[in-house]
Amino acid sequence: MKLIFEKSVPGRRGLRLPDTGVPTQAEIRPDLLREKPAELPELSELDVARHFTALSRKNFGVDTGFYPLGSCTMKYNPKINERIAALSGFAELHPLLPQLSTGERLVQGALAVLYEMDQALRELCGMAAFTMQPLAGSHGELTGVMIMAAYHKDRGNEKTTILIPDSAHGTNPASAAIAGFGVKAVPSDANGVMDIDALKEMLDDSVAGLMLTCPNTLGLFNPHIAEICKLVHDVDGLMYYDGANLNAILGRVHPGDLGFDIVHLNLHKTFSTPHGGGGPGSGPVGVCERLREFLPISVVRQNRDGSYYLDYDRPKSIGYIAPFYGNFAIVLRAYAYILMLGREGVLRVSENAVLNANYIREKLKDLYDLPFDRVCKHECVFSASKQAEHGVHAIDIAKALIDRGFHPPTVYFPLIVPEAMMVEPTETESRETLDAFIAAMRDIAELVQSDPESFRECPKTAPVSRLDETRAARQPDVASLG
């Protein structure tokens, strides 16, 4: 496919702008002018429409195929959510309206959404209150750790360290470090979960808290979670719940009931809203009762007459962590999703997600190593160690899946599994889709035995073939036409 610059024809135009009264070039100061024309492509409207339509067909997304990225929950986004977010009463609101003297009267619908979403997430997670401000999961992590720091400062605690399992997402230690804490990794045990004996040895009065993904990034639930929470609380530490994997227990288990004090969620994962591409995202943070006063400002409150207002009188708040009220359009999509599912629908989300993951696990474990062969939750982690003995690695299998019409699963994470391949089917995929993916993975395993050299050329059908990925990362060339 040619670049749009290659399709340019001198003099061809797709539009003509009316005279706007802007001064001519002679009346503009020379130092404000370009030294040469912008060299934009010259095309007709038809050329432009066809180019970008053709380009869009080369994209891969949840609307075009199975997207089993582990720990990312790339589920289908119902189109009704998009229609709700596009309603003019929401989409045309200006974020400064509530700050005007009569502004809150003009945004009662939006404030109601934020208030009721808070109530819904409290119910789903067993927490006392939520903020919708964080703009991503990692931003939610940072907000949660800042709340943790504010709590300890308020109590006069000299806490310096946050503990994190060695299987955690990489953003966990990054968030802790940005908030000013040192980080120590807790090793995993032979069952693939955090080693509770190692945790006991690391706990002391310097520990501010423990950040834990539940279930963990191997898709495994830690049976010692209640004891872990008690151990951390005994040193006046706080338990932080990384909500990236909430899809596994949604509607079944309240993180608050397990003993967690702080929870961050990913609306762009668990609650079926757009995901990736640098945004949009939304990472609401929930807290237990003793941490409520540290939540970011402002907080939506309800008057006795049922109307809503924004409460800024919060002296112990960590302050603003994002402009205005969070990524409202994403919160709105998630709100519509929760209302559409209802209580029974929410339960089916986790049931089907767990069922689908275990179906794939059982169907492929005879051909791919399964480091921890036990019932998983919403995702399963295989290892391509058998295939690596023939010179075919996890990255090669990922590229081969592209040729078979599937987005690859996450590879080389979690780091504690060599040649890791993390598969998360989500609850929205049918058995027919899962069977097709399983067939492709089995076909690849058989091809490794008969023709391992063929993997060097994969992908063969994609717009871009195999790249030198190290060089591409270190020496990117995004401007060359050659």
How many whole angstroms separate alpha carbon 368 and alpha carbon 376? 16
| Intervals of the chain under pLDDT 50 | 481-482
Q: Which domains does the chain have, with CATH numbers?
A: 1-57 (no CATH), 79-339 (3.40.640.10), 349-474 (3.90.1150.10)
Tokens of 28: 């503009």
Supply the pLDDT for residue 290: 97
φ/ψ of residue 352, rounded to 5: -70, -35
Supply the pLDDT for residue 27: 74
pTM of the model: 0.90
Supply the pLDDT for residue 8: 95
Query: For the segment 85-143, what is each residue's pLDDT rounded down to a tens digit?
Result: 999 999 999 988 887 777 788 899 999 999 999 999 999 999 999 999 999 999 999 99
DSSP code string of 109-160: HHHHHHHHHHHHHHHHHT-SEEE----SHHHHHHHHHHHHHHHHHHHT----
Q: Which residues pair with 381 in a beta bridge?
A: 422
Burial-class residue 309 by CB neighbours within 10 Å (0-12, 13-18, 19+).
Answer: middle
How many whole angstroms separate alpha carbon 140 and alpha carbon 235? 24
Supply the pLDDT for residue 476: 83
Supply the pLDDT for residue 480: 55
